[in-house]
């Protein structure tokens, strides 16, 4: 099971955080700090897997963003790496050539996609189309003529 | 879906919304969130950031408590509050408004409200009870998007004590004509099973129906529950082995729609779940294991493409083969696989190879000896993680001859890496 997913920049700024088990705010902050320190200090050509307490941390860097995933001990590390990759592919398909700015300024959309893709710490094996379609359907639905006529809030 | 419909669906958001970028709604530069983010990135000190955020939070607080704020404005305020919380600042005054937004907003606002709730609150928060009513209402809505949103939130965060209230509604969604709702209902039940297993006991036969669902997505979702159930009680589910084997055969044989391919590998996560389940079912049980040999052989053969995901599947396959009742041909092929991993120049694969060796070394000590040169090389690998895995492996193949050398290497490693290594330490002492 996946315990948490964090996205942060090369300077350690948090861009996205998703926790799949209940945690106090203090614990979350500490974990975020630990993760950023650990991952940012890794050499470029080293293994993408780390040990931390009783969990395994899988991380991967895409351009200026680090994706960091924590899995429980019995899980397969390589598949977790592919989970990260799949998420990036989904983001890419949705935003069209995604970059860090897309995720920074539209983080709630990144969350919506994540929620369709991972639920309760497990991946939902749906086709790529399915995830995109459900996001688009939700996006589309809300554009009633009324909203179209008036100015968007943001 | 046909091509034409597909194209129309993708084009519609662009046509309808004012934000016409493909798929995304790029923020205009005059938006408040955009300004906030830009403001933060321009600052240089933590102190200044604090000041800016506090100002922002005060402004948000004022606006959320004002009776004149529309739901649309509230949505925008919530997004900013989420952003502030993400940076580490507390915005608990906004929690109740998030719930209100989920209750009263239109679908788009509701979505942000639910998102905010799932990010702000935790399982034991007192405000969660207020959410339950909203969720109950949305589950019965005729608008399918609202049902989906409610099920998603239920799968993420739900108070244990209120499960009986919502269980019948979720159960009935298992029979819904739309597969996305069936899938989310299964996942919500999975979550219930994790937090309160005895509440969900009576609906086990419904899971069986989900397992045979014609939609692969729903079927995969049911596997999560089955993995848990089988972990706790493998005996009770041995009769399902043939079903699992059949499903795996079909997946590996490419019978699923092309949609489910990930880099030309059919439904890899599904394959891995099934392999794990088969592993648990076949352990220490010859007759059950015999049912699986053919499909394991097939999986090993098919996973030949050079991609991380195929290696992941191979790893699970190998693990499965070594756990269930042994069969020599399969063991040979699996051993060859492990060899390939360990000898691979790719560092992630080496790691997996070492891990696999550690797993199998009890049953097949010769395999480790075969690769001992590579293992010795790994000891001096610059990457600490590889070193640690090698030490774990070496520890298991210690015998009277090499114990001194290995202990020396371990002590050296402990000197440079002051981590939580007490486990190895203790084991060392016991052995000596």
Q: Per residue in A13-72, pLDDT tens?
A: 899 999 988 888 888 899 999 999 999 988 888 889 988 888 999 999 998 899 999 998
Q: Which candidate from A13, A24, A153 shows the least CB-CB separation from B72?
A: A153
Chain B residues close to A48, C-beta within 8 Å: 348
Asked if B270's CB is within 8 angstroms of A81's CB, the reply is: no
What is the share, in percent, of chain B residues with pLDDT greater than 70? 88
Does any CB of chain B come closer than 8 Å to the CB of residue A43? yes
In the stretch 45-104 of chain B, residues with CB closer than 8 A to chain A read 72-73, 75-76, 79, 82-83, 86-88, 90
Chain B: residue nearest A28 by CA? Answer: B88
Chain B residues close to A134, C-beta within 8 Å: 148, 180
**pLDDT exceeds 90 at position A105:** no
- Tell me how far apart the alpha carbons of residues B156 and B72 are, in angstroms, rounded to a whole number: 25
- Inter-residue contact A134 to B181 (CB < 8 Å): no
Residues 6+ apart with CB under 8 A from B3: none
Chain B residues close to A22, C-beta within 8 Å: 122-124
Dihedral (Cα; A104, A105, A111, A113), 10-degree rounding:
-110
Chain A residues close to B351, C-beta within 8 Å: 47, 49, 77
Does any CB of chain A come closer than 8 Å to the CB of residue B180? yes
Task: Map tokens 């490419």 to a residue.
Answer: B254
Q: Determine the distance in angstroms separating the CA of A27 from the nearest CA of chain B, rounded to an integer.
A: 12
- Tell me how far apart the alpha carbons of residues A55 and A19 are, in angstroms, rounded to a whole number: 14
Residues in chain A: 154
Residues in chain B: 432
- Inter-residue contact A39 to B343 (CB < 8 Å): no
* Chain A interface mutation, best of B107, B112, B156, B280, highest count of A Cβ atoms under 10 Å: B156
Nearest to B270 by CA among B330, B344, B183: B183
Chain A residues close to B124, C-beta within 8 Å: 22
**pLDDT exceeds 90 at position B326:** no
* Other CB atoms within 10 A of residue A63 CB: 11
Half-sphere exposure at residue B168, Cβ-oriented, CA atoms within 13 angstroms: 3
Residues 6+ apart with CB under 8 A from B327: B289, B293, B321
- Tell me how far apart the alpha carbons of residues A46 and B237 are, in angstroms, rounded to a whole number: 42
| C-alpha R_g of chain B | 27
Chain B: residue nearest A51 by CA? Answer: B385
Chain B residues close to A107, C-beta within 8 Å: 82-83, 86
Q: What is the pLDDT of residue A70?
A: 93
HEC profile of chain B: CCHHHHHHHHHHHHHHCCCCCCCCCCCCCCCHHHHHHHHHHHCCCHHHHHHHHHHHHHHHHHHHHCCCCCHHHHHHHHHHHHHHHHCCCCCHHHHHHHHHHHHHCCHHHHHHHHHHHHHHCCCCCCCHHHHHHHHHHHHCCCCHHHHHHHHHHHHHCCCHHHHHHHHHHHHHHCCCCCHHHHHHHHHHHHHHHHHCHHHHHHHHHHHHHHHCCCCHHHHHHHHHHHHHHHHHCHHHHHHHHHHHHHHHHHHHCCCCCHHHEECCEECHHHHHHHHHHHHHHHECCHHHHHHHHHHHHHHHHHCCCCCHHHHHHHHHHHHHHHHECCCHHHHHHHHHHHHHHHHCCCHHHHHHHHHHHHHHCCCCHHHHHHCHHHHHHHHCCCCHHHHHHHHHHHHHCCCCCCHHHHHHHHHHHHHHCCCCCHHHHHHHHHHC
Q: What is the pLDDT of residue A57?
A: 93
Does any CB of chain A come closer than 8 Å to the CB of residue B372? no
- Tell me how far apart the alpha carbons of residues B104 and B101 are, in angstroms, rounded to a whole number: 5
pLDDT digits (tens, 9 = 90+) for B41-61: 887 788 888 888 888 889 888
Phi, psi of B2, rounded to the nearest 5 degrees = -70, 160
Does any CB of chain B come closer than 8 Å to the CB of residue A115? yes
Q: Specify the higher pLDDT residue, B14 or A8.
A: A8
Q: Determine the distance in angstroms separating the CA of A33 from the nearest CA of chain B, rounded to an integer.
A: 11
ipTM: 0.71
Q: Which candidate from B27, B119, B187 shows the least CB-CB separation from A119?
A: B187
What is the pLDDT confidence band of residue B24, given thresholds at 50, 70 and 90?
very low
The architecture in CATH of the region A2-150 reads 2-Layer Sandwich (3.30)
Q: Which candidate from A16, A53, A153 shows the least CB-CB separation from B73?
A: A153
pLDDT digits (tens, 9 = 90+) for B368-427: 777 777 887 787 777 878 888 887 787 777 766 777 777 777 777 777 765 545 455 545
Asked if A119's CB is within 8 angstroms of B156's CB, the reply is: yes
pLDDT digits (tens, 9 = 90+) for B119-137: 888 777 888 888 888 899 9
- Tell me how far apart the alpha carbons of residues A52 and A73 are, in angstroms, rounded to a whole number: 10
Chain B residues close to A17, C-beta within 8 Å: 86, 119
Q: What is the pLDDT of residue B18?
A: 38
Asked if A136's CB is within 8 angstroms of B10's CB, the reply is: yes
pLDDT digits (tens, 9 = 90+) for B158-197: 888 888 888 888 888 888 888 888 888 998 998 888 888 8
Q: What is the pLDDT of residue B208?
A: 85
Nearest to A36 by CA among A63, A65, A62, A56: A65
Nearest to B222 by CA among B175, B251, B196, B188: B188
Q: What is the pLDDT of residue A115?
A: 84
* Other CB atoms within 10 A of residue B418 CB: 7
Nearest to A94 by CA among A111, A77, A79: A111
Q: Which candidate from B18, B351, B385 shows the least CB-CB separation from A152?
A: B18
Tokens for A71, please give them. 């899995």
Asked if B180's CB is within 8 angstroms of A106's CB, the reply is: no
Q: What is the pLDDT of residue A61?
A: 92
What is the pLDDT confidence band of residue B23, given thresholds at 50, 70 and 90?
very low
- Inter-residue contact A148 to B18 (CB < 8 Å): yes
Asked if B23's CB is within 8 angstroms of A95's CB, the reply is: yes
Tokens for A109, please give them. 């959309």
Domains of chain A, by residue range, sit at 2-150
**pLDDT exceeds 80 at position B331:** yes
Q: What is the pLDDT of residue B204?
A: 80
Q: Determine the distance in angstroms separating the CA of A95 from the nearest CA of chain B, rounded to an integer.
A: 5
Chain B residues close to A95, C-beta within 8 Å: 22-24
pLDDT digits (tens, 9 = 90+) for A135-154: 666 666 555 433 444 434 33
Chain B: residue nearest A96 by CA? Answer: B22
Chain A residues close to B31, C-beta within 8 Å: 154
Chain A: residue nearest B107 by CA? Answer: A142
Q: Mean per-residue pLDDT for B71-93? A: 87
- Inter-residue contact B341 to B349 (CB < 8 Å): yes
Asked if B224's CB is within 8 angstroms of A82's CB, the reply is: no
Q: Mean per-residue pLDDT for A119-139? A: 66
List % helix, strand, coil for chain A (3-state, nearest 5): 45, 25, 30
Chain B: residue nearest A86 by CA? Answer: B262
**pLDDT exceeds 70 at position A132:** no
Q: Which candidate from B24, B221, B382 shows the least CB-CB separation from A95?
A: B24
pLDDT digits (tens, 9 = 90+) for B266-325: 888 888 889 999 999 988 888 888 888 888 888 888 766 678 888 888 898 988 888 888
Burial pattern B366-401, b for ≥16 Cβ within 10 A else e, equals ebbebbeebbeebbebebbbbbbbbbbbbbbbbeee
């Amino acid at each position: 099971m996946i315990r948490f997913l964090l996205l942060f920049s090369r300077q350690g700024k948090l861009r996205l955080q998703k926790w799949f088990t209940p945690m106090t705010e203090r614990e979350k902050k500490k974990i975020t700090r630990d993760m950023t320190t650990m991952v940012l200090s890794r050499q470029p050509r080293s293994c993408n897997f780390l040990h931390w307490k009783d969990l395994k941390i899988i991380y991967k860097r895409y351009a200026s963003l680090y994706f960091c995933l924590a899995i429980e001990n019995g899980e397969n590390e390589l598949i977790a790496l592919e989970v990260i990759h799949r998420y990036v592919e989904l983001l890419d398909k949705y935003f069209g050539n995604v970059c860090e700015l897309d995720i920074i300024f539209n983080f709630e959309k990144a969350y919506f996609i994540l929620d369709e893709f991972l639920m309760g710490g497990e991946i939902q094996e749906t086709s790529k189309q399915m995830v995109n379609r459900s996001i688009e359907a939700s996006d589309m639905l809300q554009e009633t003529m009324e909203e179209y006529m008036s100015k968007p809030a943001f | 879906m046909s091509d034409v419909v597909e194209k129309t669906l993708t084009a519609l958001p662009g046509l309808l919304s004012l934000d016409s970028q493909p798929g995304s709604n790029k923020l205009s530069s005059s938006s408040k969130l955009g300004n906030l983010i830009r403001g933060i990135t321009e600052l240089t000190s933590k102190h200044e950031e604090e000041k800016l955020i506090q100002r922002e939070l005060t402004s948000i607080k004022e606006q959320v408590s004002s009776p004149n704020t529309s739901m649309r404005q509230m949505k925008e305020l919530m997004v900013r509050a989420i952003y502030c919380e993400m940076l580490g600042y507390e915005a608990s005054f906004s929690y109740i408004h998030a719930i209100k937004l989920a209750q009263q907003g239109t679908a788009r606002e509701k979505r942000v409200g639910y998102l905010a709730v799932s990010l702000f609150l935790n399982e034991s928060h007192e405000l969660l009870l207020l959410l339950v009513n909203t969720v109950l209402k949305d589950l019965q809505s005729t608008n399918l998007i609202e049902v989906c949103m409610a099920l998603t939130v239920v799968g993420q965060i739900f108070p244990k004590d209120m499960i009986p209230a919502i269980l019948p509604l979720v159960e009935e969604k298992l029979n819904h004509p739309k597969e996305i709702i069936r899938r989310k209902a299964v996942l919500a039940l999975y979550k219930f099973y994790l937090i309160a297993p005895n509440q969900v006991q009576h609906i086990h036969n419904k899971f069986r129906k989900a397992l045979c669902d014609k939609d692969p997505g729903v079927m995969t979702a049911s596997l999560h529950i089955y993995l848990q159930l089988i972990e706790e009680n493998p005996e009770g589910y041995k009769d399902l082995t043939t079903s699992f084997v059949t499903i795996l055969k079909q997946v590996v044989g490419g019978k699923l729609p092309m949609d489910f391919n990930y880099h030309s590998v059919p439904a890899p996560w599904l394959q891995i779940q099934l392999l794990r389940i088969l592993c648990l079912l076949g352990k220490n049980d010859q007759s059950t294991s015999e049912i699986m040999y053919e499909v394991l052989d097939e999986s090993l053969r098919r996973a030949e493409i050079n991609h991380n995901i195929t290696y992941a599947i191979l790893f699970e396959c190998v693990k499965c083969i070594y756990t269930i009742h042994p069969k020599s041909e399969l063991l040979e092929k699996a051993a060859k696989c492990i060899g390939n991993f360990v000898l691979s120049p790719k560092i992630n694969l080496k790691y997996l190879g070492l891990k696999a060796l550690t797993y199998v070394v009890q049953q097949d000590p010769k395999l480790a000896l075969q690769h001992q040169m590579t293992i010795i090389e790994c000891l001096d690998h610059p990457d600490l993680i590889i070193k640690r895995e090698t030490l774990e492996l070496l520890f298991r193949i210690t015998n009277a001859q090499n114990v001194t050398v290995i202990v020396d290497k371990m002590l050296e490693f402990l000197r440079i890496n002051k981590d939580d290594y007490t486990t190895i330490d203790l084991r060392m002492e016991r052995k000596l």
